[in-house]
């Protein structure tokens, strides 16, 4: 789906609110903070910007952010019982709706001092995201995104999750087509100016296998090793990819 410049302007505003949530939540992350505290800060930004949450009540999800520590890959539920401790890594995924248009982005950050492996995993995952974003140019094929992400992650000795992928985004958070973080064996749709995607590599320190916990949401690595997640909402423009979820 190709968006008009008016629609893109709304998505740019939604993206900016998501980036503000990232900035505000990043600022409070330290040992002793709970994942519920993170959700509360995110709600405050949404309220101040008169934006709606696309996470709250999504298939019954009870919060405006997903908070996924350590071996949790995605979809962790904020809780007063999950207290961050020195050495953790935590993935924060959130979104915002402005005038019916969606933004969606995620980051992973260390809590205090983290291990060399954790730090390298976060660096590589973010770098794989930008390698994917670089492929979002008019005339290119969508699955080049996944090929680029996979190359960065696997060259570093890590693996990419297969069961969860990026997506088109616009008047819904999740629109077709899917954006795999690996080469799925076909080039995929041709990219055109005005298309908007959420690219979101989930990179595991160990194997790519995932497991879902009994809460029906939290997804963890099957081998218990660390996972990181970075995401942006990006438009294909005449001047190359434009990241909307930045300040
Ligand atoms: Mg997201
Ligand atoms: Mg997403």
Q: Which residues contact 211 (CB under 8 A, 6 or more apart)?
A: 219, 220, 221, 222
Query: DSSP states of the chain as a string?
Result: -PPPHHHHHHHHHHHHHHHHHHHHHHTT-STT-BHHHHHHHHHHHHHHTT-B-SSTTGGG--SSEEEEETTEEE-PPP-TT-B--TT-EEEEEEEEEETTEEEEEEEEEESSS--HHHHHHHHHHHHHHHHHHTT--TTSBTTHHHHHHHHHHHHTT-EE-SSS-EEE-SSSSSEEEEE-SS--SS--SBP-TT-EEEE--EEESS-S-EEE-TTSS-EEETT---EEE-BEEEEEETTEEEE-S--
Q: Residue 105 C-alpha to ligand 1 middle, in angstroms?
A: 5
| Geometric angle at alpha carbon 135, from 132 and 138, rounded to 5° | 145
Q: Residue 175 C-alpha to ligand 2 middle, in angstroms?
A: 10
Q: Kindly identify the ligand whose nearest atom is closest to the C-alpha of 165.
A: 2
**CA–CA separation, 149 and 158 (whole Å):** 11
Per-residue model confidence (pLDDT) at position 21: 98
pTM greater than 0.85 (yes/no): yes
Q: Residue 103 C-alpha to ligand 2 middle, in angstroms?
A: 9
Per-residue model confidence (pLDDT) at position 142: 98
Q: Residue 185 C-alpha to ligand 2 middle, in angstroms?
A: 22
Q: Residue 136 C-alpha to ligand 2 middle, in angstroms?
A: 16
Q: Residue 202 C-alpha to ligand 2 middle, in angstroms?
A: 11
From first to last of its 247 residues, the chain has per-residue pLDDT tens of 999 999 999 999 999 999 999 999 999 999 999 999 999 999 999 999 999 999 999 999 999 999 999 999 999 999 999 999 999 999 999 999 999 999 999 999 999 999 999 999 999 999 999 999 999 999 999 999 999 999 999 999 999 999 999 999 999 999 999 999 999 999 999 999 999 999 999 999 999 999 999 999 999 999 999 999 999 999 999 999 999 999 9
Per-residue model confidence (pLDDT) at position 44: 98
Per-residue model confidence (pLDDT) at position 43: 98
pLDDT tens-digit map of 6-65: 999 999 999 999 999 999 999 999 999 999 999 999 999 999 999 999 999 999 999 999
**CA–CA separation, 169 and 146 (whole Å):** 17
Residue 5 Cα distances to 29, 70, 199, 215, 238, angstroms: 36, 39, 21, 41, 12
Q: Residue 242 C-alpha to ligand 2 middle, in angstroms?
A: 16
Closest to 220 measured CA to CA, from 238, 233, 207, 237? 207
Residue 233 Cα distances to 40, 102, 105, 210, angstroms: 23, 9, 6, 24
Residue ranges and CATH numbers for the domains of the chain are: 5-243 (3.90.230.10)
Q: Kindly identify the ligand whose nearest atom is closest to the C-alpha of 175.
A: 2
Per-residue model confidence (pLDDT) at position 82: 98
Q: Residue 31 C-alpha to ligand 2 middle, in angstroms?
A: 27
Q: Residue 24 C-alpha to ligand 1 middle, in angstroms?
A: 17
Q: Are the C-beta atoms of 64 and 22 separated by less than 8 Å? A: no
Q: Residue 231 C-alpha to ligand 2 middle, in angstroms?
A: 7
Cβ burial, residue 216 (10 Å; 0-12/13-18/19+)? exposed
**CA–CA separation, 7 and 215 (whole Å):** 36
Q: Which residues surround ligand 1, an ion (CB under 5 A)?
A: 93, 104, 106, 231
Neighbours of 61 (CB within 10 A): 17
Per-residue model confidence (pLDDT) at position 208: 98
Q: Which residue has the tokens 């903070």?
A: 33
Q: Residue 93 C-alpha to ligand 1 middle, in angstroms?
A: 5
Q: Residue 48 C-alpha to ligand 2 middle, in angstroms?
A: 23
**CA–CA separation, 133 and 129 (whole Å):** 6
Per-residue model confidence (pLDDT) at position 78: 98
């Amino acid at each position: 789906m190709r968006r008009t410049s008016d629609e893109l302007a709304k998505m740019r505003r939604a993206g900016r609110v998501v980036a503000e949530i990232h900035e505000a939540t990043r600022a409070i992350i330290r040992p002793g903070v709970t994942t519920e505290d993170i959700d509360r800060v995110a709600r405050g930004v949404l309220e101040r910007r008169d934006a709606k949450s696309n996470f709250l009540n999504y298939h019954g999800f009870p919060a405006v952010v997903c908070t996924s520590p350590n071996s949790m890959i995605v979809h962790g539920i904020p809780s007063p019982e999950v207290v961050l401790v020195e050495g953790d890594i935590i993935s924060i995924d959130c979104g915002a709706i402005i005038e019916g248009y969606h933004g969606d982005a995620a980051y992973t950050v260390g809590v205090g001092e983290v291990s060399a492996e954790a730090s390298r995993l976060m660096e590589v995952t973010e770098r794989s995201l930008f390698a994917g974003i670089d492929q979002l140019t008019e005339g290119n094929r969508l699955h080049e995104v996944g090929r680029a992400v996979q190359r960065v992650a696997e060259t570093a000795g890590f693996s990419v999750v297969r069961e969860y992928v990026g997506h088109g985004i616009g008047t819904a958070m999740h629109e077709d087509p899917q954006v795999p973080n690996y080469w799925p064996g076909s080039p995929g749709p041709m990219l055109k100016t005005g298309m908007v995607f959420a690219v979101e590599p989930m990179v595991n320190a160990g194997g790519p296998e995932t497991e879902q916990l009994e809460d029906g949401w939290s997804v963890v690595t099957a081998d218990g090793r660390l996972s990181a997640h970075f995401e942006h909402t990006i438009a294909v423009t005449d001047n190359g990819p434009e990241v909307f979820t930045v300040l």
